Amino acid sequence: MKGCVYPVWNTIFPYLLSGISVGGQYALIAIGYTMVYGILRLINFAHGDVFMVAGILMVYISASGLPLFLSIPLVLLVTSLIGYLIERIAYKPLRQAPRMSVMISAIGVSYTLQNLVLYITGGLNQLYPTIPWISSSITIGSATTKIVTVITPFLTIALVVGLVLLINNTKIGMAMRAVSKDFETSQLMGININRVISVTFVIGSFLAGVGSLLYFSNYTTVIQTSGAMPGLKAFVAAVFGGIGSIPGAVIGAFIIGIAENIIKGLDIILFKAGLIAKPLGLATFSDAFTFALLIIILVVKPTGLFGEKTTDKV
Amino acid sequence: MSLLKVMNLKVSYGGIEALKGVSFEVEKGQIVTLIGANGAGKSTTLRAISGLVPIKSGTITYDGNVISGQQPQQIVSEGLCMVPEGRRVFPNLTVYENLRIGAYLRKDDITADVEHVYQLFPRLKERSWQLAGTLSGGEQQMLAVGRALMMRPKLLMMDEPSLGLAPLIIRNIFEIIQTLHEEGITILLVEQNANAALKIADYAFVLETGSLGMQGSGHDLLNDPGIKAAYLGKSSSK
């Protein structure tokens, strides 16, 4: 029996590893959703597209011949700036408007970004530049993968820890927590809420930019719709973890990333374990699983794993 | 010299005029109270002064400068602070953080101010690491007042500080208002509890559905037959 367990583990391990990595990438996107929701009660539908634009930026900036140590910070800087500008142009003027208007504006921004990229790229797949070292192969146990897969979860955790420290221990973090509860009283404390909201968008976009570096180093091509699926998955992760909660979004993202990748390899895993005689084509269901999970969580526990129980803000 | 001067203030919410031209002044160093029934426009007046609601016309002058049209955070930075109705402490912040956020605009050392607040409200010191959402109503009101004190206000506006509190706590809150007054803070108090407010007020205005009615010293209004009948009830005429 024992001889049977190891090959199965060896089959599972590569899927688990890439699941953890994808989970980390989703987490970096999901934080942007959850932070913006926490403060504005807005689902920022353009967030996945900001992630995609960061990928396109990297393609064009590195094509210009800029060395990596400059192009990566530049991509992150411009991505943060785009996040800031989106909020200023498309959301801030609607601060007093009903929440639905802001959401529709977000959908508008999403399509604007996609079409802008379509116009620039001509709708062709753009080859993502190879970042040396992190794109090279590495073998761990039974898995051969890119180094980026291995460093993603560590980088994600480090960034999340940094973010949580920022929110819990700095003045701007305290202001963010206050604004997320009560705009008006925050203003009475002298807090410039627009500045706090801008900072939130900058942080969210910056993390999406880091996520895009990791994600596209793995998937190698970018197209104008590249942000849609990861964005949607990250959104599900944020809802699953309890939208508004940063640890929730991160845990939700890791769970979804792992589950999705295990399902992709489920046929082979079950076959190796001797449970099925021929492949069942279960890999097809990996995306469906994520969205089924969304439905289940909304029905069973709408506030997610760590969501606030409090009623909606007036 | 008047610290705050409100001239012909008009505010409307979507066509409905909540304030129909209100004018009054608050003298430096006084406790001034606005009393009136529900919907008379008392809270709207305070919210307009603090910049939270846009005004339709009129001017608000504070310490010699026109402040109408300024952002709330600007107005606060000039020492005109408000304790909002319903306390509105930040439930997800600790008691200590709530005090710190009161001093958000200050860059100097705040330890002495925190100590001062703890001296006024020893209960808050005991609970300094507790989330403000776990405090009782009275404690939250103390925290809301303490938080405003962290801004070192020159003029403190208080919107219904006694709302929903037990009589003993209300007496405590009114004592604190007097203490703050003795420390030199000018106070503009909005109250439905007209009896308690008039007793401590130097001067009082009565708001009736968006317009000013009677005015006079707290003592005079307390003994005015019309006010007694309308706002104080028969039982409090002792």
For residue A132, give the 3-state DSSP assignment: coil
Per residue, what are the HEC states of A79-120? HHHHHHHHHHHHHHHHCCCCHHHHHHHHHHHHHHHHHHHHHH
Q: With contact defined as beta carbons under 8 Å apart, do A94 and A41 qualify? A: no
CB pairs under 8 A between A and B: 57
Residues 6 or more apart from A167 whose CB is under 8 A from it? A173, A176, A177, A246
Whole-prediction pTM value? 0.91
Residues in chain B: 238
Contact residues on chain A for B105, CB-CB shorter than 8 A: 189-190
Distance (Å) from the alpha carbon of A172 to chain B's nearest alpha carbon: 10
Please give the CATH number for the structural domain made up of A2-300. Answer: 1.10.3470
Query: d(Cα A285, Cα A297) in Å, to the nearest integer?
Result: 18
Chain B residues near any Cβ of chain A (below 8 Å): 50-52, 71-73, 76-77, 81-82, 84, 88, 90-93, 97, 100-102, 104-105, 147, 151
Q: Please list the residue range(s) of chain B that carry CATH number 3.40.50.300.
A: 1-41+50-80+187-238
Reported as a single tens digit per residue, the pLDDT across B19-55 is 999 999 999 999 999 998 888 899 999 999 999 999 9
Reported as a single tens digit per residue, the pLDDT across A30-88 is 999 999 999 999 999 999 999 999 999 999 999 999 999 999 999 999 999 999 999 99
- Residue in B73, B76, B101 closest to A178 by CB: B101
Contact residues on chain A for B84, CB-CB shorter than 8 A: 184-185, 188
Contact residues on chain A for B77, CB-CB shorter than 8 A: 190
Domain covering B1-41+50-80+187-238: architecture: 3-Layer(aba) Sandwich (3.40)
C-alpha radius of gyration, chain A, whole number: 20
Residues 6 or more apart from B31 whose CB is under 8 A from it? B177, B178, B181, B186, B187, B189, B200, B201, B202, B203, B218
Question: Which residues 154-193 of A have a C-beta within 8 angstroms of B?
Answer: 171, 174-175, 177-178, 180-182, 184-185, 187-192
Burial-class residue A89 by CB neighbours within 10 Å (0-12, 13-18, 19+): exposed
A71 touches chain B (CB under 8 A): no
Closest by alpha carbon to A145, among A267, A270, A261, A271? A261
Tokens 């969210």 -> residue:
A204
Reported as a single tens digit per residue, the pLDDT across A173-209 is 999 999 999 999 999 999 999 999 999 999 999 999 9
Q: Residue B91: closest CA among chain A residues belongs to which residue?
A: A181
Beta-ladder partners of A221: A127
Distance (Å) from the alpha carbon of A182 to chain B's nearest alpha carbon: 7
Q: What is the pLDDT of residue B37?
A: 85
Distance (Å) from the alpha carbon of A62 to chain B's nearest alpha carbon: 42
Contact residues on chain B for A182, CB-CB shorter than 8 A: 88, 90
Query: d(Cα B175, Cα A151) in Å, to the nearest integer?
Result: 61
pLDDT band for A312, please (50, 70, 90 cuts): very low
Closest by alpha carbon to A45, among A103, A90, A98? A103
Distance (Å) from the alpha carbon of B77 to chain A's nearest alpha carbon: 7
- Residue in B76, B84, B90 closest to A181 by CB: B90
- In sequence order, which ranges of chain B are alpha helices (DSSP H)? 42-49, 72-77, 95-102, 111-120, 122-126, 137-149, 167-182, 194-200, 218-222, 225-227
